[in-house]
Amino acid sequence: MNMGDRDALRKEIDDLAEPLLGEVIDFVRFLKARQEGQISPRMEGAIASGAVLRRFWDRPEEDEACRDL
């Protein structure tokens, strides 16, 4: 990665809505762990599935639908 890429990434992060910053941090930590060999390819699928499910379930309409369960 050259400095142009780092600068572009910083700009994208600066322009990102505050609620999405947590997802960016999680993703960066995931990439670092994978690079360091702390995450097996088998675990990558489980982690990716969790992120997708979290986006689905962490919505106000889902909270409302599940309130009386």
Cβ atoms 13, 21 nearer than 8 A: yes
Higher pLDDT, 44 or 14: 14
Indicate whether this model's pTM tops 0.85: no
Higher pLDDT, 2 or 39: 39
Locate the domains of the chain by residue range: 22-69
pLDDT tens string 6-38: 999 999 999 999 888 888 888 888 888 877 777
pLDDT tens string 52-67: 667 666 777 777 777 7
Cα-Cα-Cα-Cα dihedral sign, residues 16, 11, 6, 1: positive
Between CA 5 and CA 50 the distance in angstroms is 28
